[in-house]
Structure 1
Amino acid sequence: MTSLVFYTNPMSRGRIVRWMLEEIGQPYETRVLRWETGDTKSPDYLALNPMGKVPTIVHDGVVVTECAAICAYLADAFPQAGLAPPVHSPLRGPYYRWLFFGAGPIEQVVGAKVAQFEPTPEQQSSLGYGSMAHVLNTLETAVADRAVLAGETFTAADLYLASHLSWGMNFGTIEKRPAFETYAERHLQRPAARRADEIDDALIAEAQQNT
């Protein structure tokens, strides 16, 4: 029997992986790690993820960290869910491109904004993301008037980017643009996305009641 354990906190990027887990439709065990009790810094958890962050999954003994890596891994581990193009398909190119655009430039530029770091024109040439304008304009071109990013079906790349756009627009780290809102909202209406939100929102409500 497959063993799939998910370490998360409902107020973290773990929500992205929760959605992915609901999409693949396989049974999994959730272990909620609480910030206030230092769960992510315990020796047992640091042995799995030395960064002391969530999310992490353990699938049949295989440890995977980093949201984009987890999404890519799960899509390949459970191909019946149809969340990645076949390995030898040319659609694998845009699928990887946009999945890791989210993990690279988007993550970097949002982190820089939170840190209130504005690169100079000289610095932009040596940064992987360049500038906020470069990243958002590139992403807008990718999602404008397109339902999905790779072929004709929803993939883990769409899940990952829709999650980032939704989160960023809600918290003001990504500028609201009509193309972003249309793209993200389309995918957030998926049944698996709604189930994932219900689960994590319930966990947040439970934690608040217990404080």
Structure 2
Amino acid sequence: MSPLTLYTHPMSRGRIARWMLEEVGQPYDVRLLAYGPDMKSADYRAINPMGKVPALRHGDLVVTECAGIIAYLADTFHDAGLHPQTDAERAAYYRWMFFAAGPLETAVSNRALGFVVPEEKQRMVGYGSYDLVLDTLEQALSATTYVAGERFTGADVYLGAHLMWGMQFGSIEKRAAFEAYVARIESRPAHLRATELDDALAAELAPAAKG
């Protein structure tokens, strides 16, 4: 089997990719990259020209972007059962995976940066407004146990991570539907393992960062 290597930093979106790797249950190596010259080095830019983490190498193949990494792992390792298995699941899985990668992340990032789209120009941006994005997501999560239906999938890793971090740091409003959804997934063994591993790595890096 081709080796899996995760290029990451414990205080980055790499935590999402780590969670998915733990869900998949396949062995993988971790290459830690520091912010700055390390991520912008020629060697790493040959893997990801953006000079950002995470990136996943699977043998000679490279996948970047968290949503892409999750979808790739779900499709590649079917035994984990994280890919959509019915037409209904597939429709919801792709719908909400891309909703999180597009409207949700853009709306949340813009709000955190203090950028508000004027009401008369909201039709020019894919997400419309921050409130519209959250209202739409709240409606979806109020209707099902998981975002693609009644079964946990890779889409829940991606969306769940956004909601966990967003509510923790105040960039996403704490709504009852969001909190109930997060409560259903945050205690998953794979998430707990991934969190423990990244928290430990972050603790090791802390003294170096202070120095």
Scaled by the length of structure 2, what TM-score is found?
0.96
Query: 2-side partners of 1:152 and 1:142: how far apart?
Result: 12
Q: Tell whether the 8 Å contact from 1:22 to 1:193 is kept in structure 2 after alignment.
A: yes
The answer as to whether partners of 1:95 and 1:150 remain within 8 angstroms in 2 is yes
Alignment partner, residue 79 of structure 2: 80
What are structure 1's unaligned runs of at least 5 residues? Answer: none
* Aligned 1:38-187 pairs, distance under 5 A: 38-86=37-85, 89-144=87-142, 146-187=144-185
> What residue number does 1:17 align with?
17
Deviation readout 1:179-203 (Å, 9 max, x if unpaired): 1111012101100000000000000
Kept after mapping to 1: 8 A contact 2:112/2:171: yes
CA contact (8 A) 1:145 1:179 kept: no
CA RMSD in angstroms comes to: 1.2
Question: How far is 1:58 from its partner?
Answer: 0.6
Do structure 1's residue 201 and structure 2's residue 203 form an aligned pair?
no
Q: Which secondary structure state, in structure 2, belongs to the residue aligned with residue 91 of structure 1?
A: helix
Give, as a single letter, the amino acid of the residue that structure 1 aligns with 2:164.
S
- The AA in structure 1 aligned to 2:188 is R
Q: Note if contact 2:144-2:150 (Cα within 8 Å) is conserved in structure 1.
A: no
Structure 2 CA distance for aligned equivalents of residues 71 and 58 of structure 1: 13
Which residue identity lines up with residue 53 of structure 1 in the other structure? K
Q: CA deviation at 1:30?
A: 0.3
Aligned counterparts of 1:134 and 1:168: Cα–Cα separation in 2: 16
**How many residue pairs get matched?**
209
Residues 9, 34 of structure 1: 8 Å contact kept: yes
Corresponding residue of 1:8: 8
Equivalent runs, 1:24-35 vs 2, <5 Å: 24-35=24-35
Q: 2:96·2:147 contact (CA, 8 Å) conserved in 1?
A: yes
Shift of residue 145, structure 1, vs aligned partner: 5.0
Q: Which amino acid aligns with 1:17?
A: A
Runs of 4+ in 1 over 3 A off after TM superposition: none
Unmatched segments (≥5 aa) in structure 2 = none
SS at match of 1:7: strand
TM-score by length of 1: 0.96
